[in-house]
Each structure stands twice: as structure tokens, then as C-alpha cells.
Amino acid sequence: MNKILIIGGSKGIGSAILLQQLESQIVYNISRTVPDISHPNLINFQADVLHDELPEIEDIDTLIYCPGSINLKPILSLSIADFRDDFEINVIGAVRVIQKYLPVLKRGNNPSIVLFSTVAAKLGMPFHASIATAKAGVEGLVKSLGAELAPVVRINAIAPTITETSLSASILRNDRMKENMRDRHPMKNYLKADEVAQLTDYLISEKAASISGQVFQMDYGLVSFKL
């Protein structure tokens, strides 16, 4: 069994990844809230990765950083604190975790890192200034570390369109809004967390041994197509 460290595995995409990996891998999870699940392969640590001391873990093959934010406001309604908070959650948290566990990760089996961006880092979308700026930082980190850590550790990112999780509940809060969101996408759908977990599973596997420094759009055609 490989040993996977998930940051933010108690909710949303992180929870979907955790559930997918539990049956075949040892999973360490660090999150502010403990997942509502117990399993012989699951070891939980309750911590805020921005402020708390990170736990010592001796063996890691994969690191997956899932925390994110959806902070949608007009530019004049965004405070400097909003920009700072989004950057800290999405970039500084990832950097802090990578710096902590990279020496251990380098000794792992087919070691890899997966981070998360957003389609808004590629496609100009109103009211996304803060989160798009932070996620652009994530993509820059992936490109730079992909080169720096080669050939030992692979690092990639997934850039999803809106995904049905608790984080997006206010945007997908009724059937009409869900249907409108489907219609915005050329392939007439938006993401479920399990779909993102499936791509994550591929990227951390030996099947993706040739892939590093890449950002994968999961967008139901939103960025790629104009129909």
C-alpha cells in the first residue's frame, strides 16, 4: 500500500479523494474538522495548516492539497484582506505543507504532489479577481516546482469548473440555478467531486509517470469551446 497525505480531506473534493483511496491505500488526513468516517487505513490529524504545527509523518508517497475558497465579489467590494486570505489559503498553505513534507516525500514510491487551481485562472470571469489571482499563483508554483523537483517528485494541478460541494452550495442552491449552470457549459454539465477524485487517482498513479508541471482543465468545455 502507498501512503497518501491529504490536506483538507473532511469536505468536498478532498473528502471524495479520501473515500476513493481508503480501500487500497494508507491515508493520512490533516484538516480543521475530522471527517465523519472511520477506517483501518485512515489516520486523522486535526490542525489548521496555516497556523498550527504540522504533525510529523515518517512515510509519504503522495501529497494532495485540497483547501480552497470561493470569494466572488466585485473588485470594489474586495478588501486587501480578502486577497490576502485567498492567497494564504490557496498558495501559502500549499507551500507550507510542501516545505514540511518534501524531505519525506522524496523518499517515497513514485512520489507526487497534486494541487488545485480553477478555470477562472484561464478564463476571465467577473467577480473572480481574488480567487483567480490566488489560483494563478498555484499554477505558477506547479510549473516552477515541476522543474525544480524533477526527476524525483512529480507535481501537477487540476483546474475544475464549479464542482458540486458544500463550498459551492450557495451558487447551486436550487434547481433553477443548477440548470443555468449546466447551460453555461458547452457540454451541458458541471462537475461532481467524484469526477475530480478520479483524475487525481490517475495523476498520482504510475500510469502518469511521464506527467509533471501540468495543469489539467476539467471544465465541461467552458474554457476550451465556444459554441
Model confidence pLDDT, tens digit, residues 100-136 = 999 999 999 999 999 999 999 999 999 999 999 999 9
Q: What is the CATH number of domain 3-162+191-218?
A: 3.40.50.720
Residue 166, pLDDT > 90, answer: no
> Which has more confidence, 120 or 171?
120
Q: Which three-class secondary structure state does DSSP give residue 175?
A: helix
**What per-residue confidence (pLDDT) applies to 226?**
76
Q: How far apart are CA 117 and CA 122, in angstroms?
A: 10
Q: How confident is the model at residue 223 (pLDDT cuts 50, 70, 90)?
A: very high
Q: Which three-class secondary structure state does DSSP give residue 216?
A: strand
List the domain boundaries for the chain: 3-162+191-218
Q: CB of 66 within 8 A of CB of 14?
A: yes
Its pTM stands at 0.94
Question: What cell was used for 165?
Answer: 460541494
Q: What is the DSSP letter of 8?
A: S
**What per-residue confidence (pLDDT) applies to 70?**
85
Q: How far apart are CA 136 and CA 94, in angstroms?
A: 13
Q: Please count the other Cβ atoms lying within 10 Å of the Cβ belonging to residue 53.
A: 7
Q: What is the DSSP string of 114-129?
A: EEE--GGGTS--TT-H
Span 53-62, average pLDDT: 97
Contacts of 91 (CB under 8 A, 6+ apart): 134, 137, 138, 141
**What per-residue confidence (pLDDT) applies to 115?**
98
Residue 36, pLDDT > 90, answer: no
- Chain centroid, CA 87 distance in Å: 14
Q: What is the DSSP string of 138-157?
A: HHHHHHHHHHHHTTT-EEEE
Across all residues in the chain, what is the average pLDDT? 95
Q: Which three-class secondary structure state does DSSP give residue 94?
A: helix
Q: How confident is the model at residue 18 (pLDDT cuts 50, 70, 90)?
A: very high
Q: CB of 172 within 8 A of CB of 200?
A: no
Q: CB of 156 within 8 A of CB of 216?
A: yes
